[in-house]
Amino acid sequence: MIINISEAKIQLSKLVDMAHNGEQIIIAKNNLPIVELIAYKPAAKRKMGLLKGQIHIPDNFLDENEEINALFYGDV
């Protein structure tokens, strides 16, 4: 359904219900489509631990590298 913005202002509650029920609502200005009204779908919650056991972090991961430190800080 395409509806002009002035009419959409008057019928907003009705249009929101229609969009929530799956109908495609397009709001136009001067008969030119500008926006589509769609129902909000929340993002799925993230699951923690999906890669547990698949990634190995070495014990020396946080150790500093003298060569790289020299490049950044010079010989101190």
pLDDT tens, 11-56?
Answer: 999 999 999 999 999 999 998 999 999 999 898 888 888 888 899 8
Q: What is the pTM of this model?
A: 0.56
Give the per-residue pLDDT at 76.
61
Give the span between the Cα atoms of 24 and 2, in whole angstroms.
8
pLDDT for residue 74: 86
Which amino acid, 60? N
pLDDT band at 75 (very low <50, low <70, confident <90, very high): confident
Q: What is the DSSP letter of 49?
A: T
